[in-house]
């Protein structure tokens, strides 16, 4: 099997497969691991999801990330600090209230807090309009690059291969029905291909004759001076 793309998704798939005994797998990354969006991510792991399948994936992700350092020996900076979502309007508060039953079905630990309860958790919260807050105690943050490298290491330790500076330039089918994956370093034949190229999904899809309706959007973030605790 070939996985294209060495971000957190490609590395996560590689690690998940290797743990299930699929070790004849090669991950191909055109530059370095985490060179795409993963490098920019803030690393927040929020479990707020109204879709049951997404919720399950988040629960599973938290479970995997929590055990990663012990499994791979690589520090990943997992910090379970919990997360507060603030409701400044009636509509937002109603949304949080209706979410509570979704959280229960999904097995997410969540609490609806009064403004005073929220301020007790985070005294710097100086928000006069706040009507309430949604608290997820199991949320946290992780170092996105470290978690990717840890999963790649875990997979390599189990026998999977990672090829850097290897750009996939095309795909074709062999007469036997296998995939011929063309790269700037040579060709690889395999039974299955997984594209985990993130923002480049459209370009990778085009190599397969697919029109992937994915559009990259701009993200912003601010970096502040350290805030004293």
Ligand X SMILES: Cc1cc2nc3c(=O)[nH]c(=O)nc-3n(C[C@H](O)[C@H](O)[C@H](O)COP(=O)(O)OP(=O)(O)OC[C@H]3O[C@@H](n4cnc5c(N)ncnc54)[C@H](O)[C@@H]3O)c2cc1C
The residues near 136 (Cβ < 8 Å, ≥ 6 apart) are 46, 47, 48, 82, 83, 85, 108, 109, 110
Q: Which is nearer to ligand X, 10 or 132 (CB)?
A: 10
Binding-site ranges for ligand X (CB under 6 A): 4-10, 28-31, 35-38, 40-44, 167-168, 196-200, 204, 219, 221
Q: Please state the closest distance from residue 218 (CB atom) to ligand X, in A.
A: 8
Q: How many Å apart are CA 152 and CA 193, to the nearest integer?
A: 18
Q: Are 66 and 74 in contact (CB under 8 A)?
A: no
At closest approach, how far in Å is the CB of 30 from ligand X? 4
Q: Return the number of the residue (74 or 131) whose C-beta is nearest ligand X.
A: 74
CB 141 within 8 A of CB 44: yes
Closest CB to ligand X among residues 6, 132: 6
CB-based contacts of 142: which residues, under 8 Å, 6+ apart? 43, 45, 65, 76, 77, 78, 79
43 CB-near residues (< 8 Å, 6+ apart): 77, 141, 142, 143, 144, 147
Strand partners for 195 = 4
Least distance CB 204 / ligand X (angstroms): 6
> How many whole angstroms separate alpha carbon 127 and alpha carbon 213?
39
Give min distance, CB of 122 to ligand X, in A.
Answer: 18
Q: Which C-beta is closer to ligand X: that of 73 or that of 216?
A: 216
Question: Given the complex with ligand X, which of 29 and 96 has the nearer CB atom?
Answer: 29
Cβ at position 116, least distance to ligand X in Å: 28
Q: Looking at beta carbons only, is 48 or 132 nearer to ligand X?
A: 48
Q: Closest approach of Cβ 27 to ligand X, in Å?
A: 9
């Amino acid at each position: 099997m070939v996985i294209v793309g060495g971000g957190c998704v490609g590395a996560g798939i590689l690690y998940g497969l290797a743990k299930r005994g699929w070790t004849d797998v090669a991950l191909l990354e055109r530059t370095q691991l985490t060179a795409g969006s993963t490098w920019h991510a803030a690393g927040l792991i929020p479990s707020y999801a109204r879709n049951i399948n997404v919720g399950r994936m988040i629960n599973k992700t938290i479970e995997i990330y929590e055990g990663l350092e012990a499994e791979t020996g690589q520090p990943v900076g997992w910090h379970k600090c919990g997360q507060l979502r603030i409701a400044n309007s009636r509509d937002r508060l109603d949304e949080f209230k209706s979410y509570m039953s979704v959280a229960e079905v999904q097995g997410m630990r969540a609490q609806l807090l009064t403004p005073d309860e929220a301020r007790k958790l985070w005294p710097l919260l100086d928000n006069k309009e706040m009507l309430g807050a949604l608290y997820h105690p199991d949320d946290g943050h992780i170092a996105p690059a470290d978690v990717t490298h840890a999963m790649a290491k875990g997979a390599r330790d189990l026998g999977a291969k990672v090829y850097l500076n290897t750009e996939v330039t095309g795909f074709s089918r062999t007469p036997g029905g296998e995939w011929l994956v063309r790269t700037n370093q040579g060709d690889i034949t395999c039974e299955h291909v997984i594209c985990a190229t993130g923002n480049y999904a459209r370009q990778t899809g085009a190599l397969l004759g697919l029109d992937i309706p994915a559009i990259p959007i701009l993200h912003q973030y601010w970096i502040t001076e350290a805030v004293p605790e």
